[in-house]
Amino acid sequence: MSAVVFYFYKFIISPLAFLLLQLFRPVLSGKLREMIEDRNAGFYQIKVAGSEASLAQSSPFWIHAASGEIEYARPVIRELKRQYPGTPVLVTYSSPSAKKILAGLSDVDVWASLPWDRSKTMDAFVTRWNPRALLISRTDVWPVLLQSVVQKNIPAILFSATFADNSSRLRGLTRHLTKYTLDRLTEIHCVSAEDIENLKTLSLRTPVIASGDTRFDQVFHRLENPKALKNELIPSPEEFIFIAGSTWPEDEAVIVPALGKLSATPVKTIIAPHETTAEHLEFLEKQIQAVGLSSVRYSQTAQWPENTVLLIDQVGILAELYTWADVAFVGGSFKKQVHSVMEALAAGLPVMVGPFHRNNREALFYQKKNFSSGMIVQVVHAVNDVVILLQRMKKLQPQTPQIKEEIRLEIGKNRNSTVRLISAIEKNLQR
């Protein structure tokens, strides 16, 4: 059955999808059109001295990361370059959103759009770059891609993979295509034993291993190699700091009124919006003013007075800002789906999330963990929930150093999945 579904995909679904995308491309816009055009053109960018031929001759490691999944791949790329300094790294993407990230990664030698999942284009790509191994980050596994590398006897490993028990990939006809595709892999490295249990319904031939989540290694690397922040704004140890990170308007509609109710409580707040457009910042400033508080923008101030919200109008420093705080709220969780809670947890912070958090494994898992704070991840549903939790955490302020250390030690148990993955790659290269 799995083979039948695969051939239906290969000869009907994939060609039909390709045809429709080409037909509608002229009227499409944004990232979808850019994705189509990148794939049509076979877009690639070489970042090192040399030619395509010399890179292919060196048999690069090929890493595929759809978009944000590049965050899981970064520590793997870094470790590959450390252990195999003479071997190039080729990274492919599915979404053009990854291009900005890839352009800034010095350890990537060449990056390219993943070809269309059709035999002709995929076989040509594999032959063109001659990779020694394919490593797929997280989820973006394509059936024809795996068929092409198997035919070339190239080891293919999926890493930091997750398979929820309610995943559509494990249901209906899709499960047969999932089984066919995953059985083409050399190994599957899942995040946890729960993922392995969920995959048992597919009766895979491919070895499945719980190796952990490589993004934790990236988060800790970032904390150990921080970007510089404005020294004049660093809070004193006596101050109690609340940070709301990666917020959307739906989150701010809950957080800002809560701050208004806390005006008599000595809590200093940082809000780091997900989008730092002028319009959004101006609207947020008006919201803050409406609840009787003032605000200053990070890039425009050298002081952070009491009862003043520090608005972050600069991207790329949220991980460092978490280290200033005592408790965090992670945004997206009153909108549609929560952003990653990893950075806040790795900084040792108890974390609040709104009701839309079931997309995030850590947000779910760490609700079950209780330490001195009484919480590691706590769900809030309304303004008063935020008020009550912040008042409670403020009363626990004398215990804050202990609380943060306990959380850091707990989250630190997730380190070194990259080392386990690299060991598996070495083993498969020696076969």
Q: Are residues 271 and 376 in the same domain?
A: yes
Q: Which amino acid is at 149?
A: V
Q: Is residue 293 domain-shared with residue 331, that is, in the same domain?
A: yes
Kindly report the length of the chain.
431
Structural domain containing residue 103: 23-213+416-429
Compute and round to an integer the Cα radius of gyration of the chain. Answer: 23
Of 93, 91, 92, the closest CA to residue 81 belongs to 91
Tokens of 303: 């002081």
Q: Please, what is the angle between helix 30-41 and helix 14-24, to 10°?
A: 110
Q: What totals of helices (H) and strands (E) does the chain contain, helices first?
A: 19, 15
Provide the pLDDT for residue 165: 78
Answer for the pair 79, 418: CB distance below 8 angstroms, yes or no: yes
The bridge status of strand 156-161 relative to strand 187-190 is parallel
Amino acid at 254: V
**218 located within any domain:** no
DSSP line for 355-388? S--TT-HHHHHGGG---TTS-SEEE--SHHHHHH
Residues 6+ apart with CB under 8 A from 282: none
Same domain, yes or no, for 246 and 354? Answer: yes
Do 134 and 64 meet the contact criterion of CB atoms below 8 Å apart? yes
Which two structure tokens, joined as six digits, stand for 20?
Answer: 């429709």
* Residue 333, domain member (yes or no): yes
CA distance 323 to 328: 10
pLDDT given for residue 374 in this prediction: 67
Tens-place pLDDT, residues 84-142: 999 999 999 999 999 999 999 999 999 999 999 999 999 999 999 999 999 999 989 99
Task: Judge if 151 and 172 occupy the same domain.
Answer: yes
DSSP-derived letter for residue 47 is -
Could you tell me if 406 and 279 lie in one domain? Answer: yes
Strands 187-190 vs 133-137: parallel, antiparallel or unpaired: unpaired
Cα–Cα distance for residue pair 59/54, rounded to 1 Å: 9
Low-confidence ranges of the chain (pLDDT < 50): none
Contact 190, 196 (CB under 8 A): yes
Does 79 share its domain with 102?
Answer: yes
CATH number of the domain residue 27 falls in? 3.40.50.11720
Which CATH number does the domain housing residue 252 bear?
A: 3.40.50.2000
Question: Is 374 part of any domain?
Answer: yes
In a domain, 172, yes or no: yes
326 by DSSP, 3-state: which?
A: coil
* 5 in any annotated domain: no
Kindly list the strands in the beta sheet with 187-190, ordered across the sheet, starting from the edge strand earlier in the chain: 44-46, 110-113, 89-93, 61-64, 133-137, 156-161, 187-190, 208-210
The answer to whether residues 379 and 405 belong to one domain is yes
Same domain for 112 and 250, yes or no, is: no
Domain count, the chain: 2
Name the region of 292 (left: φ>0; alpha: ψ -120 to 50; beta: rest): left
- pLDDT at residue number 368: 76
At position 47, the amino acid (one-letter code) is: K
pLDDT of residue 307: 87
Q: Are residues 249 and 174 in the same domain?
A: no
Quote the CA–CA distance of 382 and 258 in Å, as a whole number.
Answer: 9
With b meaning 16 or more CB within 10 Å and e meaning fewer, what string describes 110-146?
bbbbbbbbbeebbbebbeebbbbbbbbbbbbbbbbbb
**Residue 205 forms part of a structural domain:** yes
Map residue 323 onto helix, strand or coil. Answer: coil
Give CA separation, 305 vs 38, 269, 302, 320, in Å: 49, 11, 10, 20
* Domain assignment present for 6: no
Q: Does residue 219 form part of some domain?
A: no
